[in-house]
Amino acid sequence: MATCPTRAFPRISWMRGRAPPRISSRRLRSRAMRQAARPSCRREEGGGMIYAGVDVAKADHVIGAVDERGSEICGPMGFKNSAAGFERCEAWLEGVAETPVDALVGMEATGHYWMALYAFLVSRGYEVVVIDPAQVRAVRRLKGLDRVKNDRVDAGLIAETLRIGQYDPTRLATDEVQSLRSLTRYRQSLKAELAEVKTQCICLLDSYFPEYASAWSDVFGAASRAVLSRSPLPSELARRRADSLQRDISEAARGSRRMDGKAAELKALAKGSVGIRLGEAAASMQVRSLVRQMDFLDAECARFDALIRELLERVEPLVLTIPGVSYATGAQIVAEIGDVGRFRNAPALVSYAGLNSGVNQSGKFDSGGGPITKHGSPYLRRALWLAANRARQYDPSLRAFYERKRAEGKCHRVAVTAVARKLCHIVFAVMRDGAPYDPARPGRDPSKHSVSGSQGAGSDKCRDGKS
């Protein structure tokens, strides 16, 4: 098998002013013979396009290439995820293609590891595309390599996927859109962390003070946190003076009259509590720590909310004219879509969001639409679903569509998923036309759009309706 190309002028130490190494004549003759026997990886003149696939990872990548007939041009080569490694990759590509325009480079969308190499190769003049891993898996099955999995084989499969043409053009987002995407995803992770902290706190209260939640409409409101931060357990509340406890509650509630008598109520609940007493000191420390974490996470979420709102106003404020779309969901939608021009039409955007229904049809059998595929961006799918759940309450046409789905026997989640698909069409039209949402405008009435793709959205299996 052919081996990888090498640099014509390798970087050796004596070129930087050091003394050249002493090599015996016998070793030089042996090296010359090996070089003469090494087959060239360079393609023949006029050999057509070269398709190079890169299997990306955190520290090490592997690149391989095939020609237009699907024949391997050169053995795959590994390189580091570093500046030196990227230059080695460029040198390898120079060995298999005459110019950058003669090569098409592809890589899987594996997390964020592809971004640095993508930007480097684009800056060197290469056309680079990012491929959906599902398309590579399809080629793997086609080649009968289901049970063969290693980096070198994967690089060849990515190259073969390019040769077949199973890819779409890829473009990096603008600086503002990339910033918006990073901020919205981080905000979502903060919200998830906050929910986890609250769950831990509830578990502790259920064990040590199960009556506590009945005293509050919001167990994690400001007044309740003021109590939990100082005396979270029944034994601690029983020892506190009622006037001191009431003062803390009133200050946190900003003097709300609804909190009058709350201290006496809590002390009565603490006196008759059936919570466990084992390990109270450790449990008290945990609850106080969790409350401090909630305060910190709330402050961080508020800080990022302000940044996200400012960015959204600059990038795509018109999405806020759509019913049910808030600053949080609107920013997530805009960030995940990026340049709407990269989508041919609204169904392409629906497919990217994974809201298109699966197909199960053969001969005379047709299931009539299955569960949604859930391919594409889970962040976009989640944001559209949340926005749709609110839009069905405020937009008359979307509400009528939701109620029609419910009348057909669809459960709530499936009906909202169908609304989310409609909302995806609306978002596409607003971003494409650069005009505010107007349900009275021709072609903008969601109830008049085709509903064929949302029928699964149309499946009776409610568990598959939500992303």
411 vs 402: CA distance, rounded Å: 10
Angle at which helices 175-208 and 327-337 pack, to 10 degrees? 130
Contact criterion met (CB below 8 Å) for 215 and 269: yes
Mean per-residue pLDDT for 38-42?
Answer: 47
Contact criterion met (CB below 8 Å) for 103 and 86: no
pLDDT tens by residue, 302-343: 999 999 999 999 999 999 999 999 999 999 999 999 989 888
Contact criterion met (CB below 8 Å) for 150 and 78: no
Residue 335: which of 380, 302, 390, 374 has the closest Cα?
A: 380
282 pLDDT above the threshold of 90: yes
Same domain, 107 and 185: no
Among 291, 309, 327, where does a domain finish?
Answer: 309
Host domain of residue 228: 178-309
Report in angstroms the alpha-carbon separations of 253 from 58, 116, 224, 256, 363.
49, 50, 9, 6, 67
Same domain, 222 and 128: no
pLDDT tens by residue, 77-135: 999 999 999 999 999 999 888 889 999 999 987 778 888 999 999 999 999 988 878 78
pLDDT bracket for residue 33 (50, 70, 90) = very low
Between residues 279 and 255, which one has the greater pLDDT?
A: 279
Q: Which amino acid, residue 455?
A: Q
Stated pTM of the model: 0.73
3-class DSSP state for residue 242? helix
270 vs 219: CA distance, rounded Å: 15
Among 309, 336, 356, where does a domain finish?
Answer: 309
Same domain, 240 and 150: no
Same domain, 325 and 458: yes
268: CATH: 1.10.287
pLDDT tens by residue, 147-173: 888 889 999 999 999 998 867 666 667
Report the pLDDT value the prediction gives residue 361, as an integer from 0 to 100.
59
121: CATH: 3.30.420.10
Beta strands in 302-442 (DSSP E): 361-362, 365-366
25 pLDDT above the threshold of 70: no
